[in-house]
Amino acid sequence: PCKNGTCHTSKHDDTYTCVCDDGFIGENCDIIKEARALGMEDGRIKDDQITQSSYYDYMSMGKHARLNILVGLGAWMAQGFASGERIQIDLNRLVIVTKVATQERYGLDRWITSFTISYSLDGTNWKVYQ
């Protein structure tokens, strides 16, 4: 049951304890604990992992929401200013996110002033991070 670590089973019952390898946590050592960027800037997160509720035009799609990008408008821009607009990034694995970086639109003084982070294990049921 220990995915990334050593499993110690009890001699008395069916219980076990995992001792996780460095960089992993969780009851089964199945959650990656990374202290590095997940890949929005360097491309490890692929364009098809990024979706959005809407976008202003092709040059402002979610795939342009990368740090220090000089392509397109250099940002994701929603079609309008309605509440509930969102960008979604599928990390394809369980991770603990410890930091989020944002920046203004490339070349212009435009930026968001607030945002909410939500997470989901199945892409359907979402919880707001608090």
Phi, psi of 115 (to 5 degrees): -155, 165
Residue 34, pLDDT score:
67
pLDDT band (50, 70, 90) for residue 114:
confident
Give the DSSP letter string of 52-97: ES--SSGGGSGGG--TT--STTSS---SS--TT--EEE--SS-B--
Provide CATH 2.60.120.260 ranges for the chain: 35-129
Q: Are 28 and 17 in contact (CB under 8 A)?
A: no
- Give pLDDT, residue 96: 81
Parallel, antiparallel, or unpaired for β 16-20 and 5-9? antiparallel
CATH for the 1-34 domain, from 1.10.1740, 2.10.25, 3.30.70, 3.30.410: 2.10.25
The topology (CATH level 3) of 35-129 is: Jelly Rolls (2.60.120)
pLDDT confidence of residue 86 = 93
* pTM check: above 0.75: no
Range list for CATH 2.10.25 in the chain: 1-34
